[in-house]
Structure 1
């Protein structure tokens, strides 16, 4: 039922109810059976009962419509993210294949092997992102843990996870952004850190959440911690989309730490 129909019904119900009851009360058939005071009580009670039943039904209908709209909006965001990932995968693989061809022609087999590993990693990540249908109800923590297991197997880097998320704390749109942050951060660890161990801590409370990702890699000098390096700009932008503030810290040969804190809207 459309909002236009609901609007018309909302206008007609009180008019028909009160007008109709008043007409019946003053008709010849009922005029001598009910006193004015009894009629007032009767119309008040009937009006209350009908208005309560109608408003309950109407607000339930509106709530269901809003839930459906919200669900459709979240599904659209999920599919848009998948389209973005597909385009990103296409561009990355096209570029990597071109470099692979160049290296093979030059006989640089070691560089070519590294590019093949990069293609394999990108394909695995894309397959994981597309493997779970948006309509399936898989908890966010399970998705993250499963991806981290795959990442650790492919990269050979050990992971110490600590994930404690309250059910339903994040919306589907927030989960998309947060999952992308985790993927980007661990991709940077695999590509740049030369670490053999990494950790992730994702905890939620009633009104707050915190994500901490650390590695024991080579790190970089303080003046090298720039947002335009190693995809840090993307991390910052995604954190801001979910009302989070991000902080980077790193020391040469002592690893890197990314900390993101956010509040529930």
Structure 2
């Protein structure tokens, strides 16, 4: 049922039913019903019709909203997969170009490094796309499952304290936050040289904070290449969920990423 039809029914149906009853009462029941009794009956009838009609309309609206939310969830997943596909394509294309140049120059060491880079891009993309987001449950279960597989894949121990409240994030926000987590842990595997990592989440309806830490060599903020480490991507995703993004050396060494957001009241 379209919204236009619902709008027409909302205006026309109560008018016809209540107006029709009043017309019938004044035309045929005046000799059998007093004015007071008629007023009581029309009040009761209006209440019953309003209750039934509003319940029906809100049921239809709920169905429409559920369908819309499902479509938005699928679209968010498709957009994320398209982004990953573009990154994979661009990364491999650049590496292949570099590989071709180095092979022509006879620089086998650099060519071997390019092959390793291509292998990394492919493995990372396959790992990130292994489980379809729409098939998993909540963000908690999806992150827990992914981190467990990542830890087994890399051999790096991860300490987790990640529990979010239900309905704290929209579907699009979950996609962005999950992508930030994936990129952060990809950087840990590639650049940190760490043996241990942590991820914890603390949140209420008023504010939340996501923290990721590793015990590796620590990032050099002064010589930081945002493009190399995917920092610009994480900053952009943080901006899309209106969260503050911070990255710095941890107090106990390593690198610490903090994502913080205060909800608008």
| TM more than 0.5 | yes
Partner SS for 2:135: coil
Instruction: Check the 8 A contact 2:183/2:234 in 1, yes or no.
Output: yes
User: Which blocks of at least 5 consecutive residues in structure 2 are unaligned?
Assistant: none
- Distance in structure 2 (CA, Å) of the matches to 1:117 and 1:154: 17
> Are 2:11 and 1:11 aligned?
yes
Runs (4+) off by over 6 Å:
none
The aligned residue for residue 48 of structure 1 is 47
Deviates more, 1:198-207 or 1:13-22: 198-207
Output the aligned Cα RMSD.
2.8
Identify which range, 12-21 or 170-179, moves more after superposition.
12-21
Report Cα offsets for 1:168-213 as digits up to 9, x if no partner. 4322211110111112212222333233332222233343321111
Matches of 1:250 and 1:210 in 2, distance apart?
18
1:139-182 residue CA offsets vs partner (Å, 9 max, x unmatched): 32332233334433444433333322234432221111011111
**CA offsets 1:72-125 (integer angstroms, 9 cap, x no match):** 122112111111111111111222233334445556555444444433333233
Deviation at 1:134, TM superposition (A): 4.5
Which residue of 1 is the match for residue 23 of structure 2?
23
Written as runs of structure 1 = structure 2, the 5 A alignment for 1:44-123 is: 44-104=43-103, 110-123=109-122
Tell me how far apart the structure 1 counterparts of residues 123 and 11 of structure 2 sit (CA, whole Å): 58
- Evaluate the alpha carbon distance shift between residue 105 and residue 194 of structure 1 in structure 2; reply closer, same or farther with a 3 A threshold: farther
Question: Is the Cα–Cα contact under 8 Å of residues 239 and 246 in structure 1 kept in the other structure?
Answer: yes
Which deviates the most, 109-118 or 40-49? 109-118
Gap change, CA 1:251 and 1:167, over 3 Å in 2: closer
Q: Provide closer, same or farther for how the CA distance between residues 14 and 145 of structure 1 changes in structure 2, counting only shifts above 3 A.
A: closer
Superposed CA offset, 1:39-62 (max 9, x none): 111111111111211111112211
Name stretches of at least 5 consecutive residues in structure 1 with no aligned partner.
Answer: none
Match of 2:196 in 1: 197
After the TM superposition, which residues 112-191 of structure 1 pair with which residues of structure 2 at under 5 Å, given as runs?
112-191=111-190
Relative distance call for 1:15 and 1:147 in structure 2 (3 A) is: closer
TM-score (norm 1): 0.85
User: Aligned in 2, Cα 1:220/1:149: closer, same or farther, shift over 3 Å?
Assistant: same
Question: Do the aligned partners of 1:220 and 1:252 also contact (CA within 8 Å) in 2?
Answer: no
SS in 1 for 2:165: coil
Give the distance between the partners of 1:101 and 1:253, measured in 2 at CA.
43
* Aligned 8 A contact 1:221 1:252 in 2: no
TM-score normalised according to structure 2 size: 0.85
| Equivalent residues of 2:77, 2:134 under 8 A apart | no
CA shift for structure 1 position 238: 0.9
